Structure 1
């Protein structure tokens, strides 16, 4: 036993320097870990009080949160320090690492150090790199969007149609039908109604358009031989101006070439419209079938604590958009039918073609019906003023009935925004994307107003 004890003591004496070296290495690593800056989940540095360092209370930032570190009164506050160098010295008992990690305001500057500024200054290379990457991604997204404007318009139209048909699908689901079957029934009904409308209107509209094209010379002769045109011709010399411009057009070969190019451009535009309609219908089918999954994934991008609130607001916005699309479609159909009846009563030529134009323009909120009525009234003036007056009286009386009785009932569950905001939104949307932009402008404006009312205003009221 004695020999064993002596052996253990000898081993302990021999390994004592090695164990001391290992212990000092662990202490050095621990001190290095204490000096290493740590960051929270938002990428901001975490400051810790060092032993013996005076306490510095958190200073409220602009939004009321502890955004900055303000010096408290103590032996090392700037008021008690005579020069800058003394103000920058660490407190007694504080290590060099904790002094570097905890910024102390100087007496010369008298400013506080914000967490966000400290985070940027602590990692300048990382911050600069991420800023450059962000700018590059923004430019890339802008280039992609600019190069695929037509595709983005098709996607927006398809999503708009899907949101408009979603209330019908949910209504069929309440009748115990599965969603795939409800989507199939809704899309077949939509395509069937669209095909039936086009099959009924296109032949009549084409025939009347051809008749209108053939009657243009006769119409020009009637206008030229009218009394009011003769008076204008005597005053301004209109006939001479028209003859000179026609002669110049016929003598210029580039003008004829441009006209033929315009004809081919119309053909290409019709082909593009057909392809776009097919793409929009296919995309609308896919969007309608996968709309619940798309909404679920979009809501999961938000934090779990805010997800119920986001889901509530998102469902309200999407339901309002769907009800608005259905309501506006009903209003447009009624406009077209009333315009057709008024055209028949007034005996305005090309009734079916003009009724289709009025119905399409009625999809534009607020101003579409008025624009269509004024267009038909101007065409009716080519017959006589009694015809134009008859149509205007019937149609514009209906517009008043629609504004006060029809639209409020149809749009009661859709969107509610002030009239001035609606007009501005329609004008801006029409200037950006035409009829589709004008149609989408009001629900988008309503969504923005809902977010402002339910999020921003409530946040301001709680402050």
Structure 2
């Protein structure tokens, strides 16, 4: 080894290793018992108060109620943060199988995390990069064509007949003048614009927070699991670890499988819309992909929305698209989805529908997305713990 290499390997003078929060040894009490019997580092234990003592019961009951109220207050005042955390954890669990697969290909975990998150970020950015210009273009066309539509309506025989009987033109002129001269109405418009800008800013901030949390969750996933398993009693730790790995693996496979199904669904819808001549095909394809993430009902809702928009191009176009797309949904349900989701969770249809409705009612789109993995995790716990215990009696 050269002198330069030896010099580089020496620590910097005065440098200290970074402090890390480490777990205590797993068999610390066994070591203490082997060395000198019971652990007496904190003195001999004194007599304990009976758990049936009125003072003990009253005190612990009061503490329990206080903790419950504190948890409720914290939860009610940090709802947005909790949603961000749940979203980031859901994304991290979905990307974890990809990171593991890359690790199996001798890719370092840090590089696998970077590749996975970068791919997801590029996909989301592409969605908004396509969505926002399309919306601006369509809104601009509507604004440009609106005066012509209004003038054609005013010149129509129907409007002239109604105006001659009820004086609609004079009434509209009065209302427009009243609205323009009303400071509160104009302030409401300004407030709406400001509110829209605030919503956009909050959305971008939330997306950044979710992205950062997803990175941290992915990087710390092995440590988080290890810490979680240590919270369980040692005698049940192996069983808890096995159940947790099965649940997290099923959730990750479900997220990836649902993403692939949504991508195939949106690609087919875009091809059919392009051939049939449905307007706004690119924008509607993104809408189909987003709705296809919602299991069971998402594809049906997407089909109905696109069919209604296709009516603007003619009933023949709408009928052709509806026949092709809903036929594809049947093909997807019996051939594509079972093969893609064969390693994911399996939930009965009735439970899945109820879970999606309940999750959507509680947490909106996010609740509908995580409803089926949550239901599958609950069913697995019931099967492996409660039913297994009942079978022993």
Match of 1:125 in 2: 55
* Bigger shift: residues 179-188 or 288-297: 179-188
Once the two structures are superposed, what CA deviation does each residue of 1:281-318 show, in whole Å capped at 9, x if it has no partner?
A: 01000000000100111111110111111111111100
Pairing 1:13-52 to 2, within 5 Å after superposition: none
Match of 2:5 in 1: none
Report if the CA contact (8 A) 1:209-1:353 is conserved.
Answer: no
Report if the CA contact (8 A) 1:183-1:288 is conserved.
Answer: yes
Match of 1:290 in 2: 220
Match of 1:381 among 303, 311, 331: 311
Match of 1:171 in 2: 101
Match of 1:460 in 2: 390
Match of 1:150 in 2: 80
Q: Rg larger in 1 or in 2?
A: 1
What CA distance in whole angstroms lies between the structure 1 residues aligned with 2:333 and 2:193? Answer: 40
Matched, 1:440 2:367: no
Matched, 1:299 2:299: no
What CA distance in whole angstroms lies between the structure 2 residues aligned with 1:322 and 1:220? Answer: 52
Matched, 1:340 2:262: no
Report if the CA contact (8 A) 2:273-2:281 is conserved.
Answer: yes
Once the two structures are superposed, what CA deviation does each residue of 1:212-256 show, in whole Å capped at 9, x if it has no partner?
A: 4544666788999999xx8xx99xxxx999997997687454455
Match of 2:281 in 1: 351
Matched, 1:370 2:300: yes
Give the match's secondary structure for 1:276. Answer: helix
Describe the shift of the 1:441–1:461 C-alpha distance in structure 2 as closer, same or farther (beyond 3 A): same
Give the match's secondary structure for 2:235. Answer: coil
Match of 2:89 among 159, 168, 172: 159
Match of 1:331 among 261, 272, 276: 261
Matched, 1:281 2:211: yes
How many residue pairs were aligned?
340
Matched, 1:313 2:243: yes
Describe the shift of the 1:185–1:356 C-alpha distance in structure 2 as closer, same or farther (beyond 3 A): closer
What CA distance in whole angstroms lies between the structure 2 residues aligned with 1:334 and 1:164? Answer: 18
What CA distance in whole angstroms lies between the structure 1 residues aligned with 2:191 and 2:282? Answer: 29
Give the match's secondary structure for 2:296. Answer: coil
Describe the shift of the 1:222–1:391 C-alpha distance in structure 2 as closer, same or farther (beyond 3 A): farther
Deviation of 1:339 after TM superposition, in Å, equals: 1.9
Describe the shift of the 1:374–1:305 C-alpha distance in structure 2 as closer, same or farther (beyond 3 A): same
What CA distance in whole angstroms lies between the structure 2 residues aligned with 1:375 and 1:240? Answer: 38
Match of 2:70 in 1: 140
Describe the shift of the 1:398–1:131 C-alpha distance in structure 2 as closer, same or farther (beyond 3 A): same
What CA distance in whole angstroms lies between the structure 2 residues aligned with 1:404 and 1:454? Answer: 29
Match of 1:425 among 348, 355, 359: 355
What CA distance in whole angstroms lies between the structure 2 residues aligned with 1:220 and 1:456? Answer: 67
Give the match's secondary structure for 1:189. Answer: helix
What CA distance in whole angstroms lies between the structure 2 residues aligned with 1:187 and 1:205? Answer: 27
Report if the CA contact (8 A) 1:361-1:369 is conserved.
Answer: yes
Higher relative contact order (CA 8 A, sep 6+): 2
Once the two structures are superposed, what CA deviation does each residue of 1:112-144 show, in whole Å capped at 9, x if it has no partner?
A: xxxxxxx32xx2112211111111111111111
What CA distance in whole angstroms lies between the structure 1 residues aligned with 2:357 and 2:384? Answer: 26
Match of 2:379 in 1: 449
Report if the CA contact (8 A) 2:99-2:109 is conserved.
Answer: yes
Match of 1:406 in 2: 336
Deviation of 1:257 after TM superposition, in Å, equals: 3.8
Deviation of 1:172 after TM superposition, in Å, equals: 1.0
Report if the CA contact (8 A) 2:127-2:286 is conserved.
Answer: no
Instruction: Report the TM-score, using the length of structure 2 for normalisation.
Output: 0.78
What CA distance in whole angstroms lies between the structure 1 residues aligned with 2:168 and 2:200? Answer: 34
Report if the CA contact (8 A) 2:130-2:283 is conserved.
Answer: no
What CA distance in whole angstroms lies between the structure 1 residues aligned with 2:185 and 2:170? Answer: 16
Describe the shift of the 1:126–1:413 C-alpha distance in structure 2 as closer, same or farther (beyond 3 A): same
What CA distance in whole angstroms lies between the structure 2 residues aligned with 1:135 and 1:190? Answer: 43
Which structure has the highest helix share of the two?
A: 2
What CA distance in whole angstroms lies between the structure 2 residues aligned with 1:190 and 1:274? Answer: 16
Instruction: Report the TM-score, using the length of structure 1 for normalisation.
Output: 0.67
